[in-house]
Amino acid sequence: MTKEQYKEKSTFSIFASYYKPHWKFFAVDMACALVASLADLAFPLVTRYSLQTLLPAKLFSAFFLIMASMILLQAFRGVLLFVVSYVGHSMGVRIEADIRKDLFSHMQELSFGFYDKNRTGQLMNRVTGDLFEITELAHHGPEYLFTSTAVIIGGLIIMFTIQWRLALLITLVFPVAIALTLVLRRRMSRASNKVKERLAGINNQLESSISGMRTAKAFANEDREREKFFHSNEMFKHSKSEFYKAMGMFSGSQEFFMSFINILVIMYGGYLIMQGHFSTIEMITFTLYISAFFTPIRQIISLADQITAGTVGFKRFLQLMRTDPEISDQPGAKNLGRVKGEILFEDVSFSYDGKTPVLSHINLQVPIGETLAVVGPSGGGKSTLCQLIPRFYDVTGGRVLVDGSDVRGVTQKSLRENIGIVQQDVFLFAGSILENIRYGRPEATDQEIVAAARLAEIHEDILSFPDGYDTYVGERGVMLSGGQKQRISIARIFLKNPPILILDEATSALDSITESRIQSAFDKLSSGRTTIVIAHRLSTIRGAQKIVVIEEDGIAEQGSHEELLAKGGEYAKLYRLQNSMV
């Protein structure tokens, strides 16, 4: 389904479209569920026929033959229910997989700005919790609605043929009982949602407290942390009590209504027997049908909750699917191909919110194969400037060109294939070292990966691990040191071999010894490539052909290391300050 179809079609038609590839599963599920449900309607009729005809006439052979047939019918019903459970859940899983695939594919297309505004936990809940509710509705919704309706309508028709007065009473009473039960069920659902909210609050509080345990101890604030947690815990306890109260009222009222209907049938049926309009055997038949109604009624009550939860989950899914990426390829965007590496900023301005300027009228040229260093105070826009090159964000004024092509006129994929980025906060996937280096070029051979590791000066470290290149790095590379993670990220870029390189404060979190080891790897990596370096430590950028000092008002000064020192401006002040601290 296209993006336009997600926006134009109704919620119901989009939901129904996910059944289309699995219509065979759906048909088998519905057919088996219907037959299994209708089999329940046969038992009261057979009971009535046996009590009214077979047993009074002493047709015992026929009676036992029919009972044997009923046993076979129930066995067949058991097989049908197995098929319903297996096929229905299989269909639900397939629909869930299709929805998750579409959602994840769309999330891959969303821009950096979207992830800046949305928390990871919330997005994960969209992909897991919401989809579970949708799947439950997709599987049980049509099945419960179809079979419950068929059983109730079929049963009422049969009961009207037996005694219309009693059947009419039941027809009037059942909707009232269901409506009252649904009201109490909804109250229980609201209480349940409050419990979930309180539990989420406890989890957030617990996560924050455990993560900040060292800070709490350093400030001797353990008592304060206990108070905060105890408060959240008390709120949860209160919410849980309210939930159990609502649950008790729902359970008690549901059982009352079921018993009330049974008593009403016996009472009114007894009156009709007294008037000669009804027989005892017909009374038994009616009570059996009433018992058969209880299961579909419970399903309808359960379905009401599933529809509510599933609809909310599906609307949240559609909200994401209808979110346009802030950055997308323009119609007719060209493939950039392998670039030489010239970068040009022409009167570039940028703002994240459209109000507060981050960059204003920046003009810069980075010739092919040269290194540009960008320095300045935090918040001056250094990282933002670099993120405009791979088009993680779009300029709000001016343009950025690579080899003379405006980055907005080329495909994002071809642009980013030409750019390698090494950041301070290295992200490694929870896998092996080999897998993390191969991420730079998935089709690379093991020999090419080893060669990249040698260039990044991490090969010897890898061999020192018991499992070598198969060593598991842990979540976000937690099993490795900061320097090892950084060199693995460098190896990944060596493997990608891009003509343009961006080093975004890649060594600022490392100690001086580790930084000196990694700097030689960076020198190899930047050789022959157009390189932009953002650095706080000015000692690491002395070899750059050009250094640019960016402040809030734009470019304060630019030139080589020697030229800027000779000017005695901001760069010279910053350089002298850092040297005095060594």
Find the CATH number of the domain harbouring 481.
3.40.50.300
> What is residue 500's predicted lDDT score, i.e. its pLDDT?
92
CA dist 202 and 208 (Å) reads 10
Contact of 92 with 136, CB cutoff 8 Å: yes
**Can you give the pLDDT at residue 581?**
56
- Please count the structural domains in the chain: 3
Of 317 and 402, the structure prediction assigns the larger pLDDT to 402
Q: Is the pLDDT of residue 293 over 90?
A: no
Answer whether residue 334 is part of any domain. Answer: no
The confidence score (pLDDT) of residue 279 equals 84
Number of Cβ within 10 Å of residue 184's Cβ equals: 19
Question: Distance between CA atoms of 480 and 429, rounded to whole angstroms?
Answer: 12
Identify whether residues 135 and 208 lie together within a single domain. no
Tell whether 545 and 458 lie within a shared domain.
yes
Task: Evaluate whether residue 113 is within a structural domain.
Answer: yes
Mean pLDDT of 124-146: 79
Average of per-residue pLDDT across 360-387:
87
- Amino acid identity of residue 221, one-letter, is N
Q: Is residue 289 included in any domain, yes or no? A: no
Q: What is the pLDDT of residue 398?
A: 92
State the residue for tokens 């039941």.
Answer: 170
Q: Report the distance separating Cα 320 and Cα 117, nearest Å.
A: 13
Q: Tell whether the model's pLDDT for residue 239 goes beyond 90.
A: no
User: Based on the domain organization, do 82 and 174 belong to the same domain?
Assistant: no
pLDDT at site 211: 65
Q: For residue 580, is pLDDT > 70?
A: no
Mean pLDDT of 446-455: 90
Task: Specify the long-range contacts of residues 22-25, CB closer than 8 Å, at least 24 apart.
Answer: 22/91, 22/94, 22/95, 25/87, 25/88, 25/90, 25/91, 25/94
Chosen domain end from 296, 325, 354: 325
Element (H, E) at 115: helix 112-117
Last residue of a domain, one of 297, 325, 353: 325
Same domain as 153, residue 169? no
Number of H helices, E strands in the chain: 20, 10
Question: Is pLDDT of 448 > 70?
Answer: yes
Q: Which residue has the higher pLDDT, 253 or 23?
A: 23
Assigned token pair, 405 = 């092509």
Cα(349)–Cα(395) distance, rounded to whole angstroms?
Answer: 6
- With a CB cutoff of 8 Å and minimum separation 6, the contacts of 384 are 350, 358, 359, 393
Per-residue model confidence (pLDDT) at position 505: 75
Tokens of 487: 């060199």
Average confidence score pLDDT of the chain: 83
More confident: 122 or 357: 357
Q: Which two tokens stand for residue 303?
A: 């379905």
Same domain flag for 93 and 172: no
Place of tokens 């994002």: 412
Give domain status of residue 335, yes or no.
no
Same domain? 548 vs 514:
yes
Residue 250 has a CB neighbour count (10 Å cut-off) of 21
Pairing of strands 419-423, 343-351: unpaired
| pLDDT band for position 113 (cuts 50, 70, 90) | confident
Tokens of 64: 């036992």
| Amino acid present at 163 | Q
**Domain annotation covers residue 247:** yes
pLDDT above 90 for 401: yes
Q: Given this model, what pLDDT does residue 83 score?
A: 92
- The tokens for 110 are 């969303």
Report the pLDDT value the prediction gives residue 28, as an integer from 0 to 100. 92
CB 350, CB 358: distance < 8 Å: yes
Q: Are residues 20 and 133 in the same domain?
A: yes
- The region, left, alpha or beta by phi > 0 then psi within -120 to 50, assigned to residue 554 is left
Q: What is the pLDDT of residue 411?
A: 92
* Residue 20 CB partners (closer than 8 Å, separation 6+): none
Q: What is the pLDDT of residue 257?
A: 79
Q: Are 274 and 281 in contact (CB under 8 A)?
A: no
Q: Look-up: residue for tokens 């079921």?
A: 258
Is residue 138 located within the same domain as residue 188? Answer: no
**Mean pLDDT, range 544-550, rounded to an integer:** 88
pLDDT tens across 205-231, in order? 676 677 677 777 777 777 887 887 787
State how far the Cα of 473 lies from the Cα of 478, in Å rounded to an integer. Answer: 6
- Of 268, 298, 325, the one marking the end of a domain is 325
pTM: 0.72
Q: Residue 235 CA to chain centroid, in angstroms? A: 28
Q: What percent of the chain has pLDDT over 90?
A: 12
**For the segment 507-527, what is each residue's pLDDT rounded down to a tens digit?**
655 666 666 666 777 777 778
Summarize pLDDT for 84-108 with one digit per residue, the tens: 889 988 898 899 889 888 888 888 8
Q: Residue 507's pLDDT is what?
A: 64
Instruction: Tell me which of 72-81, 227-236, 389-398, 542-551 is least confident.
Output: 227-236
Is position 544 within any domain? yes
Beta bridge partners of 344: 365, 401
Q: What CATH number does residue 25 fall under?
A: 1.20.1560.10
Residue 341 CA, distance from chain mean position: 37
Among 120-129, 246-255, 348-357, 545-554, the least confident range: 120-129
Q: Is residue 143 part of a domain?
A: yes
Check pLDDT > 80 for residue 553: no
For residues 154 and 170, membership in a common domain is answered with no
Beta bridge partners of 546: 372
**Residues 6 or more apart in contact with residue 528 via CB below 8 angstroms:** 369
Check residues 76 and 132 and name the one with the higher pLDDT: 76
Rg (alpha carbons) of the chain, rounded to whole number: 35
Question: Is there a contact between 381 and 394 (Cβ–Cβ < 8 Å)?
Answer: no
What value does the mean pLDDT take over residues 142-150? 85
Does position 125 have pLDDT exceeding 70, yes or no?
Answer: no
| pLDDT level of residue 65 (50, 70, 90 thresholds) | very high
- CA dist 272 and 137 (Å) reads 43
- Predicted local distance difference test score (pLDDT) of residue 72: 92
| Same domain, yes or no: 231 and 188 | yes
Output phi, psi for 53, to 5 deg.
-115, -55
For residue 464, the surrounding DSSP H or E stretch is helix 459-464
CA distance 42 to 239: 46
Domain span holding position 575: 343-581
Q: Which two tokens stand for residue 123?
A: 């997005």
Which range among 280-289, 403-412, 537-546 has the greatest average pLDDT? 403-412
Look at residue 23 and give its three-state secondary structure: helix
Q: Which helix (H) or strand (E) holds 365?
A: strand 357-366
Read off the pLDDT of each residue in 337-364 and give the average, rounded to a whole number: 88
* 467 and 568, same domain (yes or no): yes
Q: Which residues contact 434 (CB under 8 A, 6 or more apart)?
A: 446, 449, 469, 470
Structure-model confidence comparison of residues 579 and 131, the more confident one: 131
Provide the token pair at 324.
């346009």
Residues pairing with 362 in the sheet: 348
Report d(CA 101, CA 422) in Å as an integer. 30
pLDDT of residue 506: 65
Residues making up the chain, counted from first to last: 582
pLDDT at 120: 65
Neighbour-count burial of 189, counting CB atoms closer than 10 A to its CB (0-12 exposed, 13-18 middle, 19+ buried) = middle
pLDDT at residue 122, rounded to an integer: 67
Classify residue 296: in a domain, yes or no.
no
Residue 87 and residue 218 in one domain: no
Q: pLDDT-derived band of residue 409, with 50, 70 and 90 as boundaries?
A: very high
- pLDDT at residue number 515: 66
- Name every residue whose Cβ is closer than 8 Å to that of residue 275 and which is 6 or more positions away in sequence: none
474: left (phi over 0), alpha (psi -120 to 50) or beta: left
**pLDDT on residue 121:** 62
Confidence of residue 550 (pLDDT cuts 50, 70, 90): confident
* Range with the poorest average pLDDT among 33-37, 77-81, 510-514: 510-514
